[in-house]
Amino acid sequence: MIKLPQRRSAIKELRKNRKNRLHNLDIKTDLKKTIKKFTASVEQKNSEEAKENLKTVYKKIDKAAKRNILHQNTASRRKSKFSKAVADINK
């Protein structure tokens, strides 16, 4: 049995938490989709498309890090990994 809050402020807090969770989930799924699109272009060794997708991946990662959905170091690590992948295509 799920215990629901009794106080009015706790009920409002629960409502806010659910709303924020769904918002963060939308950002995460959108980020995952763009990363998947980027990795597909890297695997196909399509340099131009990979560079374009890299820009959008950077944008989404930075936005997620800004909103504390991703940790800043995690965002930097992923950006570095993706830029290396694009550099490897050009070799």
Per-residue pLDDT reduced to its tens digit, 11-52: 999 999 999 999 999 999 999 999 999 999 999 998 999 999
Give the tokens for residue 45.
């060794």
Per-residue pLDDT reduced to its tens digit, 1-20: 778 888 999 999 999 999 99
The answer to whether 85 and 49 have CB atoms below 8 angstroms apart is: no
Sketch out the chain's domains with CATH numbers: 23-90 (1.20.58)
